[in-house]
Amino acid sequence: MAKKSIKIRAKEKGGVVTFKALMTHPMETGMRKNKKTGKMYPAHFIQEVTVTSAGKTVMTAYWGGSVSKNPYLSFKYAGKKGDAINLTWKDNTGASDSADSKVK
C-alpha cells in the first residue's frame, strides 16, 4: 500500500473550524543543481490547492516554486463537527492527489 502524501486535521470549536494539512511533495523550483552531475533538477511543485467542506469550496491557493518542501497549510473557517472535508492539489507535471476527512 502506498504511503499517504496528505495528512489532514480539522477541529471545530465555537463554530470555527481550524484546518491543518501536511503535504509530502518535493517542491523543486527548477533552479537547483545536482552537485554530482551539474545538471539542474527539473521544476516540480504544487500549483493549486483546493479545500472543500460540506460540498463548498472554503479555500483555493495558487502556489509557485518558492513554497518549501513538504508544505504545511493552516487556516480557519466557519463550519461544524461532522462536515466532510477534502483537500486536493495539482502540480506543474500534471500529477494530483487528494485526501478526505471529517471535522472533529
Whether residue 60 lies inside any domain: the answer is yes
**CA angle, residues 59, 60, 65, in degrees to nearest 5:** 135
Whether residue 1 lies inside any domain: the answer is no
Q: Which residues contact 85 (CB under 8 A, 6 or more apart)?
A: 8, 10, 19, 51, 52, 53, 100, 101, 102, 103
Whether residue 86 lies inside any domain: the answer is yes
| Local structure of residue 90 (DSSP, 8 states) | E
Whether residue 74 lies inside any domain: the answer is yes
Domain that holds residue 83: 6-102
What is the pLDDT at residue 1? 38
What is the pLDDT at residue 3? 64
Confidence (pTM): 0.89
Q: How many domains does the chain have?
A: 1
Q: pLDDT (tens digit, 9 = 90+) per residue, 73-91?
A: 999 999 999 999 999 999 9
The CATH number of the domain where 13 resides is what? 2.60.40.10
